Each structure stands twice: as structure tokens, then as C-alpha cells.
Structure 1
Amino acid sequence: MTIIYCSVTFCVDFSFPFQRMKLIQLLLLFSFTLVAEFLNINVIQGEAVRLPPYNLTNTEYFWYRNETLISSAAGQRVFCQAGYLFFLPVLHNDSGVYRLTTKQRDSLNITVQVYDEEPFNQTLLYKSVFGLAATNPSVNCPTAVWMLCQDVRGSFTWYKDFIHKPKRSTKYFQIFNASKEHEGIYTCKCTWMRMNKTFITSASREFKIKGPGPVTYPPSFRFPTNGTAETGELGSPKKMVCKVSFGYCQEDCEVGWKINGADPQKHMVHKDKTANCTNSRFIMETSWEKENDMTIYKAVLTICKVTMEDFQTKFWCVAETPNRWEFVTVSLRISETMYKCLIVHLSIMGVLILTTVAFRVFMIDLALIYRDVFKMHSSKKDGKVYDAFVMYQTHNMERTAEERIAHFVSTVLPDVLERKYGYSLFICGRDDLPGEDCVEMVQSRVKLSRRLVVLLTPACTGQDGISAPVAEDATSQLALHQALVQEELKIILIELEKMDGYCHLPQALQHLAHKTTPLRWEETGCSSGRFWKRVRYQMPPAPIHLSYYSCMRKLQPEIQPLNIYH
């Protein structure tokens, strides 16, 4: 297939998407603000043709012939797909006017003219390539054919004067030590398959040796250098400038920007005079100037608003001449100011997170230190006598469990809370008077207490190996009712050993155990351990002065141990 894009007065190679000066009409074409109403496309009878849309940033395209919408059904010979118009193959009766429209832009009329393969018609030639004798120029395959071959993964070959040139399968046909014998027509041809059918797409250029005169050198990038990392601020606009020298070239030389693409022929940012930051994220402006008789081309890419995605994007500055192209890559990095702000914000967030974690971990320690520093105490006139009423059950318990409870109640608990920290405890079985009525004792002592401490007892295993529920005595019921309903005391639950569950406990204790996590005592733990800190945290603030009972305990250390066995 050979495709020539022509205005009324001249032909333009589609592989150079933004021509300047004499080619200003094509610049306007890509922005869909048209100077020439028609484009002429000349193709060969029997070849496969793919007409591309002219602005890949649009989202939806429609192709018409004689005001009839062309179908998108891929099984037909002529159809449109993803913005492209396909002729598989193109026939003489396909000659005519086609119209490409979008929902966002004006329409574009394209005239398709089909020619026989033989004799070869010079109208089918792309723009000629000129080179100096004794140099190593190259002839490039027009982008339309090369990109089609890449997309369909076809077989790519080169011909000179219609004679196959083996071992040539790249986009550029390199000529070494050019001379007159190298002049001629160079054709790149792609052979590809679709739906078990073989198609051919080709394009031809003429190579000529030209004498002394204006010389086009390989592109020389003045700025930026390859791999440059420019700084940008998130949310702010950013301009990226690319300057390239082409020697004494005044036309057919191009500089532009492309975004993220392994293939620099894709993802081009098109120059569009109507583009602005309200309808596009990227704006490109191009210009050229003379410097010591050398032509310097400049392309300025404006990022309207830098996003995090841009810091992961590769920007390509591409320089093109009729016989070669080169590019450099540029990336964006966060500016030092923004980086410092980011570090500060991350540091503040880190400190806040660490502070929150530390507070959660050391909350109990901080609360206890606060009490000690500010001398908070429970001697306020609330009418209370005891800091805690200690309640436990030993009915139907195993001997080892009873001994464990007796040791904790008569020795461990008083030694730590009363002797060391000065709390006043009322412990059933130790502080009640002989012959005192149980009901009256519970009612009066609970009323005079600030906390209710309940020791949870393990299940008793019967002879059949099944755990028996703990009997709920009237004293326990009365104490719980008094604490929860009448006095609204805070209840502290303590486990003396690990329990698999609480189903063996009375209903009231089961409810409390699921609502409030019990504290578990480890016999090997010291009094300053985590357990006692948690107990003290749930207890009221310790009194400044030792209680009367604590003083008596110090004067009479050999007080009779608690007897809980009945």
C-alpha cells in the first residue's frame, strides 16, 4: 500500500505529523481546524489499506461515504474499528470521498484514489529523500505502513526498484557511501494475515543524490540531555523545553514531545492552537530560530497540572528529519521544596502514629504516674470507707482451687494493695464480724465500698469428667445486684487461672465476663508487674495516708491467716 496525503498544491508525508512553514496546513489539520478541505490518498489496487484517525486523544470516530455510515462489522471488506478505516483489500470502486467525524471536532473529508499496480504511477510516491554523496543516509518507511506492520505483527521487507533486498527488515533502509547508483525507488512492504487471508501493504519513496547546498545534519540536542530529571511541584504547572539543531535545514525537520511509549512513533502530543488547560492536560508549542546560520528548533511542552502519575512518566523529545529520527528521555522528580514538605508531613504523621501507639501501650503507666505526681487520692468526702469489696466463691471447689484462692485472698491481695499501696479492702471471711448477718453485712459493706472485686473460680470437674456449674449463692447475687443496680459500682473481674469459657459461672458473671475482659493473675508475676498495674488502674486513686487496717497490719504482722474452708 502507498499512501500520500496531499493538499490542493502539495503532497505531505504522514510520517511527519507536524510540518512547518510551507507545511503549515498539515499542522492545522491535526488540530481539526482545517485550511484545506480535502486530503488526497493514493493507493494500489488489491492491497490492504488502513486509514488512521488524525487525533488519537479523541474517544469516538465515525466514517462516512456518500453520507452513509460505514459499518464496524469486522467481517466485511470495508469496515471501521477503533477509529481506523480498513479496506481488505481496496478495489477500484472504493475510489471516492470519505468523511471522518468526531463528537468533539469538525469533520475531515478524504479523497481516496485507487491505481493499478502496473505500470507504477509516480503519484503513489511519498516525499523524496535526498542525501549527499559519500555519506551514509537512510530511507525511512512511512509511519503509516510501519505502525500497521507492528500492530498486526506482519513480515517486513524492503525493495529497490521493485527488486527484493534481503536481510533488510527495519524501518530504516541504511545506505552506505551513497552514490548515483543508489538512486531509485525504495519500497517497504508488510505481509500480514487476518482471518486466514494474506494481505500486503506497501509504501514507496524515491532516493536522490543532491549536490552542495543547505545540509541537514543528524539532530543534535542542545537541551535537554538524555536521562535528564527535571523538578516539578504537585498540582502546579510545568514547562519542559527541548532545543535541537539540524544544521542548515530550514524545512522537513521536526521537534515534538511524546509521552510514555516504548515506541517513540506513538503517543505524540499534537500541536493544537485551540488547546488550553481547560480541555487538555498537555499543551505543546513549537518554533524555530537562526543561530550563526544554524537552524534551532524548539518545542515547549506545558503540563497544566502536575500529578503523581507524571512523576512515573517518561517524556520523549523526538527530533525528525526525512531520513532519520532521534530522541532523548526526560523525567520529573519532586522538587526539593515539595520533598522537604513531604518529609515534614510524613515525620509529623510518624510522630502522631508513634505517639498514639505509645499512648495505647503505656496508657496505664501514664495514668498511674499522673496520679502519683498530682497526689490524687480517694479520701474525698464520698461517705465511703473501703476502696474495694472483695467477693469470691469456694462452694463445691476442688481442694487445690480452694488453696489457690485462699493464698491469693489472705496473702497476695493484702500484701500488694493494702501494705504496699495503702488501699482499704473489705474481704469476706476476714473482715466480717462473727455472728453478723450475711445479708446485712453485704448490703452495708458494698454500700461503703468504691469498687467490687470478683474472683472468678474455675469449673469443678465431677466424677464423670464433666465440668459442673458453680452454684450461685444468695450472697453473690445480693452483692452483684447491690453493686450494679443500687450503687452503680465499677466491677473488677480477676481470673486466678486460665479458663476455657465462662459457661460454668452464674448468668450475671457470664454477662460481665463477656462485657469486661477479666484480669488474669500470674502467680510468678511481681507486684509491679503488668497485672497489678492494671488492677491499680481500675481501682480508685490510692489514699495518701495508709488506712487504719494497714497500720494495724504493720504493727501485727503475724495476724491470723484467712480461713475459708467450711
Structure 2
Amino acid sequence: MASCISTLLFLFIVAVGISPVASQSSDPAEPLCYDWGESNEGVVSIMEGEAGWLSCPLFSHPSVYNYTSTQKAGHNLFWYRLPEGHDLEQPIKYSSRLSKDGERLWLQPATAADTGLYICMLRNKTSCSKIAMRLKVWQRDEVVGRFDCQLLGAITSSHEVIPQQEGKILECPHLQDVAKMADSKPTVSWYHVTVDGLKCKEWLQWTTDWQQEGDILHVYVMSNLYQGFFVCTIQYLRKGIALNFTRSINVTAVYPSALPKEPRILRPTKDYVFIVKQDTEVRLVCRGLFPYLNSPWDIWWTVDGKTVDKLTDHRFSKINRMVSYDYGDRTEESELVIQDFRYEDLKKEYSCSVKNERGFETRRAQLEEEVSLPTVELGCGLSVTLVLMLLLFVIYHVFWLELLLLYRSWFGTDERHTDDKQYDVYISYARNSEDEQFVLSTLRRILENELGYSVCIFDRDSLPGGTITDETLSFVARSRRLLVVVSPGYASQGSQALLELKAGIDGMALGGHLRVILVQYKPLQRRGWVRELRRARVALALVRWKGEKSKALTSRFWKRLRVELPMRRVSSEEEKGNSKELALMRMSSQNSTNSQTGLITNTIKDPQKVFIKAI
């Protein structure tokens, strides 16, 4: 018999994986006692004022210890208690409240003073084994509400999984054990408690989807809303005292059983390529989806047909983890880690596999070596590119007018070949001596003699005897550009300059065959601008004359003005012919211009009358 007990002890050591401590009593007659320490099954929780029990952990493995067999072998079970704050074990004094039933110690009911460490000892004359377990009696002031989440989790005795849109029968755990202790048939009350964050809320309303039928709870149609704790409370009488015994079942909803349950590889896909680099750590990730089944499943990597644990090369290892859990369907990930990746590792075959009782799938991983770019050459190339871009930005910011003129000279179109206009530029200005001097001696001279444009000036090119309004409108209509010289004396109400400005704006807005250019000869305040000039200033560019700085043909003024003027392509022979023709025209028109001086002078004296008559 002693050898049998020794064999059983050895099997128990193997089963639970703990090492007992043999303690020898001071009395030589006392047997050697194996102390298994404290049980790793967790703390037993009981609500204050309710019934509960402690089950000796020595009998948690029936193949090692069986209560009936040990009793026949002459072993007796003793209970001891180590109260909180004490060092010495105290034997349990059995009473109507504390009683022993087989391998269980019943507390009917439990009190707050019962909290502490309990020790169950199995012994006979020659052998002894003991193990400790901890009891927690929850006091009323420690519980939030009628059903506390922490307490429900502690007294949960089972976990049930119910597929959606399917049903199941729930039985109150340990009902038959309680019935043995009761004086009469116990009654059972069921409650549904939902978990909202950290709070548990009792669902008082019963539905047609689940109903209590006698002592059992029948769930007809499972829904996601019904997840949580189903709590059953057993009420019974023992020796005239009303007692409650509470247990809870944690119910989880999973996807319906009719859905496909075969596992699938989510990653790598069929076309996915892992980019690897030599002499670095490479990680190959395999991700699989496992629909809910109450059966084992597995995900693994193979290298040349061998699993990682069978490889002799210690550079290979794996890391498995759960990625997500969705109503029973779990997404698992297996990561193959290759330290110090080598060239010959590219030639190996890497396969990811998933399996459960419904199916199997495997997929080969494709590897491709990363093409390394020279770091120094790449850095130099990026630096040169950045410098060139910065240089081009500076050049364009400084020389954008020159670049635009160069582009026009290469790719621009000569407008003389696309329209039937007679003049390139019609100049409108205030009829005073200062503005007239600027127009005739500067603008006209450079535009005609230096730049080769055909310029129309009303005071010079109009014939005597004509109507001023008609000839003005005719000259403007036959010109490609209207150059308006803006100064403080320009375009007073009713002047000829205002007539020219209106004609140019109307031609630009209606037909689009004329463009207006504003040249600011002298600064003027905005309130000095007439309405037509203010409107034109919003849409048109303004070229400013800056005195001595703008006289040179290479100044910014003339470059900006050339951008707005028509593009001219003039050959050397044509330029000579045009010069002679212009000289003859100026000589022939000089006399007529002088004869008109008196008429022009009278017109300037009363320009308002002339404009009103024209309107």
C-alpha cells in the first residue's frame, strides 16, 4: 500500500508540475507530510450571507487522488484554517454552519470572518499530503449594486458559447449538490446581467427569445444583445434557516454554425512579395482566420518542409500571437524571424499553413532581395538636384522678364499675320505740355525708332477737317494695343482721353481684339482715378515709369512694356524699308500737324464740350 501511495504521489507531481516540500514532524511517530504549498486554482469567492464551499485541490485530479479510494485505503481528510494576521494553523471546528461533505467544506452561510487561508490534509498512519487554498468572503459594502462585475467574474463556474440565431438550455451549476444539503426542494431564480464598460446592469425584462422553464433557462434565439452573465440563485432551507447559493454562467455569442468554418490565409496573398536584405533581421508574417469551432487549430511556418522547432539552424525562430477576436472567429498571426539573413536563405522554400478540423490551407512565400542604392551617390545626386532647383528658382525670380521675352522671340506669333490692324500701338495721354513731351520725345521715339512698332498719335496722325469722335474711335479700332499714359491730369470728366479709354475698354471687353496697357507716368492717389481707370486697374497690369532709372532701353520699364506689346519679327531689309517709310510719313504729316495746332489747342481748352457732343 505504501508503494501505491508513492506511485500516486509521483503521478501527481507530474500532473500538476509542482514540487512538494517534505516536512518532518518533531514527533518521530508522526508520518512524513508532503506540503504542496498554495493551490494555483485561484481564490474562492463567496458573498457574505450566502452559502458556498471549499473543495480540496488534492482531488482535482481524480487519476491521482479519489476520495472514495482514499477512504477505503484508510486515509482521512482534515481541514485547517490560517486566519488573516495569524501564523499558526487552527483545526476547523465543525458545526451546523461549517460542515464537511466528502472533499468539500461547506459554509452555510459565510461570514466576513471566514476570509483566510484554508488547508486540507489527507493522511493515514504512514503518509500525509496537504495543500492550501485561499477564501475571499465579499462584504456587502465592497459590492457595487446587486450584481457586481468583479464578484460575478469570481463566482463564475462555467463559460457557454451559443451561436447566433441558435438556442441552448442552461442549467444552474451545482444544483444537485445544493439539493443534498437542503431540507426541501430548492427553488431557482434566473437573472440576465449585461456588461456595460466596467458596470454590470441587470436586465429585468424577459423576452420571447429566452425564458425560465422550471429550474432551467431555455435560450431559444441567441443574439449579440444577450451576451454577458446569466446568474442563477438557489434558495433553500437547511435546519430552518433560509439560504442562498449563487452561481453565474458567462455566455458568449459566436457566428452561426451554418457559416463556412474552413481556415483561410489572409497574408501573404498569392501575389505578395517579401522584400529582404542580406545581413539584416528578416520577419515573414503569416496571418490566418479561424472561424469558431470547439476544436483545436494551428498556424505554423515550414522551411524546406520542416517546422521551426525541427530546424538545427538557431537563426530561425517564430512568434505567434492573436490579432483579433470577433464573435468566436479569431485572427492569428505567426511571424517567422530570420536573424542575419544570408544569400543562401533566398533559395529556401518558406510556406505558411493553417489547419483546423474542417480544413487545411498552405501558401508559399515569395522572397525578393532589396536592391541597395549607393548612399553617397544618392545623397550627392539629391544635393545637386536641390541646388539646381534653387538656382533655377533664383534665376526665374530675378530674370523672369528676360526669360519671357526670350520665349516670345522663339515661340511667339507675329500678330500682323493674324489680323488686319494698321497700328501696333495707339497712345492716349493727357493733353498738357509735360505729358505730351514724354509721349513724343520718349515713348514715340523708342517705340518707333528702336523697337520698330507702328505708333498712332491722334494729334499727329489725324487729318484736318474730320470729326474728332469718329476719328478717335477709328484709330482705336485699327490698333492692336491702347497705351494709356496715366498721370494726375489724365482723363478728367469729358476729355478726349476719357473717350479713348472708354473705346479701348469696350473693344477689349466685347471683341477681345484690343488690349489696354496702363503706363503710370507720375504717381497719383486713388481718389484721383476716374471710375473707368479704377475698374481697368483691377484687371490690367500697371507699368510704372521711374524717371532716370527707366530711360535706358535695358531698364525694367521697357522690358515690362515689351511683354505687353505685340511680338514683332522684323528682318533687316524690312527694317530699313520701314525706317524710310516712317521718315517720309513724318515729313509729309508735319505740315498738316502744324496746321492743326490751332484746332487742337481749341479742343484742349474745352474738351468737355467736344466729348459731350461726341456722345
TM over 0.5, shorter chain? no
Q: TM-score, normalised by structure 1?
A: 0.38
Greater helix proportion: 2
Q: From the CA coordinates, give the structure whose radius of gyration is larger.
A: 2
Q: TM-score, normalised by structure 2?
A: 0.35
Q: Which is bigger in relative contact order (C-alpha 8 A, separation at least 6)?
A: 1
